[in-house]
Chains A and B, each alone.
Chain A
């Protein structure tokens, strides 16, 4: 009777689907557990940190930890510094990459293909190869312990990836639009500002997300260029958290977890809100579309 209702192929199919869902949703636990554990630890009082076996749900919820972190370390300062660096880095990257990409996409000039290949080859160049002379150069400029080394290089093309992304997009904009404007007497810069850029909103947003994540999360740059603790960005401040916090020998893991979550939240929010654009950009970069 049962085998009439549920033939073997159907049973097989149901089992397959059950397995699929179990694996797909089971994996979310592995990916989410470090976050859950950090949030749980960040809401515990000190004495609960050391309970054995560890408890995921705090016995006493200590939300004050999230207020305390702003007092024990100059976290607000780090936050403002990071926002400053991120805003000026990302805007520079987008503006200069779009200009350069416009040059590559819309003008014919000698060695254009060679120069574009050269540009793409820098994608494979590890930044460590040039870091020491670059550091010495910025030292000669008197830029050590300022934000200039973190911001200003972004205004010179914004990197091969950004230029590539803009160029690919500009190539899909019909040239008829440029031509029509040209006949009306518009110059090329006007065409760029009034026609090309407004049509490129999706790539601009893609680069806002990618640029934000890179600048916000950057550690190496701040590490070698910034010395004064008041100038630290969040990543550098967090890395030195245990040194910055004066806990008198007491454990600070609950505060460290709270500060880590505070630093992570903007990245997660930006990604979740704009992930459609982000994913598009990543897929274009791989050439699979």
Chain B
């Protein structure tokens, strides 16, 4: 295969071994290079351009300068979606990280049936989000649902309307997400990290008379700090992308409305982007929303990595 190409290129000298190897390497990675150009680089450039246009899909895009970005600053739904997304992220991620770590520490003890417990804890996270949303919509049913039955059985009166009221809709979604996340990948990663802490560290701490709080604070947390960072960064990126659960939970009943209700209380950033693009067909504006989202995610991730230097310890490094 290589010989005819060489002839056509007019190469008189045969390829050196190194050149041959490089050529083969490029051929093997070419599916990714093509995919990267067609599905990532191209679309990113295209959406940067589209964000500067008015485009409703029917008529060709019309250049409109920065007007989409100007419109965004005055768009009440944009600010509402930012508020909702930050609310969700700021509450969900700390609970998810702390809860997963607590579960991992529990499973790191000598308990009979650990493997079975780990599997059981994990099952919610393999449950399709759409199915999980319906399971929980039914539990959160205000009049006859299981959750409010438990609340009234405990003598706490009538429970909230959950997904039917803007004051309780986000907490309900956070509860559903936590159910799906606590025993999932985050916990598995913590568990593997905990098992990797050298036992001698704890033994010498025992000799020094350290209590369990001290051991957690001064051995466990520093030892697994790179993994805490990893889980937090991925957790935040995932939380900012909240979509399916909110979409199904808010449109499952009254499908004639745009999802994000009640009263836009579950209109998360990506939901607003989705509505703009695929409900109102404002492709230019939605592209601007996409780029702003990219910048937000990049900034938040960058900030976390930057501040992590203060608290993350890597092995073989002086602390």
Contacts and interface: CB of A to CB of B under 8 A. Distances in A.
Interface residues of A, number: 92
A96 B31 contact: yes
Contact of B109 (A20, A33, A243, A275): A20
A107 B119 CA distance: 39
B40 A238 contact: no
A286 B234 CA distance: 10
Interface in A229-244: 234-235, 238-243
A234 B139 CA distance: 22
Contact of B28 (A102, A129, A271): A102
A23 B111 CA distance: 11
B50 A133 contact: yes
A288 B139 contact: no
Contact of A238 (B50, B131, B149): B131
Interface residues on B, range: 35 or more
Interface string A245-289: 000000001001100110110011011100100010011001111
Contacts of B210: none
Contacts of B122: 271, 275
A206 interface: no
Given A54-B149, A288-B196, A132 B47 contact: yes
B38 interface: yes
29 contacts: A28-B121, A31-B120, A34-B136, A37-B135, A37-B138, A52-B149, A54-B145, A54-B146, A107-B22, A107-B25, A110-B22, A122-B40, A129-B291, A131-B277, A133-B50, A134-B43, A156-B34, A188-B24, A216-B128, A217-B128, A238-B131, A239-B248, A240-B255, A256-B134, A257-B135, A264-B131, A283-B188, A286-B193, A288-B192
Contacts of B47: 129-130, 132-133
B144 A132 contact: no
B115 to A, nearest CB: 9
Nearest to A38: B135
B184 to A, nearest CB: 9
Pairs A-B, 6 closest by C-beta atoms: A156-B35, A103-B28, A107-B25, A157-B32, A133-B43, A133-B46
Contacts of A261: 131
A187 to B, nearest CB: 9
B120 A32 contact: yes
B151 to A, nearest CB: 11
Interface of B: 18, 21-29, 31-36, 38-40, 42-44, 46-47, 50, 57, 103, 106-107, 109, 111, 117, 119-124, 126-132, 134-136, 138-139, 144-146, 149, 153, 179, 183, 185, 188-189, 192-193, 196, 226-227, 230-231, 237, 240-241, 243-244, 247-248, 251-253, 255, 270, 273-274, 277-278, 283, 286-287, 290-291, 293-294, 297, 301
A154 B79 CA distance: 35
A257 B21 CA distance: 56
Contact of B138 (A38, A130, A156, A163): A38
A235 B127 CA distance: 11
| Interface of B: prevailing SS | helix
Given A107-B24, A286-B230, A137 B301 contact: no
A103 B278 contact: no
A108 interface: yes
A99 interface: yes
A267 B40 contact: no
Nearest to A219: B244
Nearest to A157: B32
Given A20-B106, A24-B117, A37-B138, A109 B127 contact: no
Nearest to A234: B128
Contacts of B128: 216-217, 219, 234-235, 238, 263-264, 267
A224 interface: yes
Contacts of B188: 279, 282-283
Nearest to B284: A132
A197 interface: no
B153 to A, nearest CB: 7
A112 interface: yes
Contacts of A38: 135, 138
Nearest to A236: B130
A26 to B, nearest CB: 11
A289 B192 contact: yes
A157 B293 contact: no
Contact of B44 (A119, A130, A235, A239): A130
Given A129-B44, A132-B287, A282 B139 contact: no
A147 interface: no
B119 A264 contact: no
B123 to A, nearest CB: 6
A122 B282 CA distance: 26
Contacts of A267: 126-128
Contacts of B57: 136
A240 B43 CA distance: 30
